Amino acid sequence: MTNKAVFLDRDGVINVDHGYVYRKEDFEFVDGIFEACRHFQKQGYLLIVVTNQSGIARGMYSEAQFQELTDWMVERFKEQDVTITKVYHCPHHPDFGPADERDCDCRKPKPGMILRGIEEFELEPKLCLMVGDKVSDMSAAESADLGTGILLNDEVEKLSEGNRFCRINNLKQLLTPPEGVCNCPEES
């Protein structure tokens, strides 16, 4: 069993973030996601999705609708020879839903979903990566003590100094990152 994983945010990394996507008709895969995942899978990484889904707490869609879309998404990955090991989601929001569920440990930037993955799959955090499109993804990765965080957008200025994170403009850069942009781990 492998002891390393790539944690992937969903909206903005796996699919284009159209805002509260819960129907397959609105789900558009980000260009390069299948190739990037196959690349990491060949290097022995598990692929684990960690996604905030506050649309559930907001009453925009149900857990069942989220799960139906998740099952459909995982099947599309299988068709591309990619295995998604697990999908963790946070259905909470600090301003919506039942009061006793608003202060959770799973909503990024808190590391709860990542920590559950580390424990469930007996992962070595320093060998793991997080690919996200928001600073909150990188904050969760940093709190979980992951080895590398890869930010898929231009918010790099907002990251703290001295961290282990880098920025890319598109997922294809994960296959052959341009020099100086990302010091992502190679095959180990």
Q: For residues 156 and 168, what is the distance between their CA atoms, to the nearest angstrom?
A: 9
**By three-state DSSP, how is residue 34 classified?**
helix
Q: Are 84 and 47 in contact (CB under 8 A)?
A: yes
Q: What is the CATH number of the domain that holds 44?
A: 3.40.50.1000
pLDDT at 121 over 80: yes
Q: For this structure, is 11 an active site residue?
A: yes
pLDDT on residue 51: 98
Confidence (pLDDT) at 168: 83
Q: How many CA atoms lie within 13 A of 82 on its CB side?
A: 23
Question: Is 54 contained in some domain?
Answer: yes
Q: Tell whether the model's pLDDT for residue 178 goes beyond 60.
A: no
**Structure confidence at residue 181 (pLDDT):** 47
In a domain, 182, yes or no: no
Backbone angles phi, psi at 49, to 5 degrees: -95, 135
- Give whole-number Cα distances, 142 to 28, 96, 106, 125, in Å: 28, 26, 14, 10
DSSP letters of 113-161? HHHHHHHHTT--GGG-EEEESSHHHHHHHHHTT-SEEEEESSGGGGSPT
Evaluate whether residue 136 is within a structural domain: yes
Residue 20 lies in a domain: yes
Asked whether residue 187 is assigned to any structural domain, the reply reads no
Dist CA 13 CA 92 (whole Å): 20
pLDDT in tens, 158-168: 555 555 678 88
pLDDT for res 101 = 81
Q: Indicate the pTM of the whole model.
A: 0.89
For residues 90 and 51, is the Cβ–Cβ distance under 8 A? Answer: yes
Stronger pLDDT, 61 or 167, i.e. the higher one: 61
Judge whether 186 lies within some domain.
no
pLDDT at 103: 86
Q: How many domains does the chain have?
A: 1
Helix or strand holding residue 41 (H, E): helix 33-42
> Which helix (H) or strand (E) segment is 81 a member of?
none
| Domain membership flag for residue 98 | yes
In the set 9, 31, 95, 133, the catalytic residue is: 9
At residue 86, the pLDDT reads 98
Q: Tell me which residue of 103, 104, 117, 175 sits closest to 146, measured CA to CA.
A: 117
For residue 187, what pLDDT band results from cuts at 50, 70 and 90?
very low
- On whether residue 30 sits in a domain, the answer given is yes
Host domain of residue 30: 5-174
66-114 per-position pLDDT tens digit: 999 999 999 999 999 999 999 999 999 888 878 878 889 999 999 999 9
The C-alpha atoms of residue 56 and residue 69 are separated, in whole angstroms, by 13
- Identify the pLDDT of residue 1: 61
Q: Answer positive or negative: Cα dihedral of 171, 176, 178, 182.
A: positive
Residue with more model confidence, 122 or 102: 122
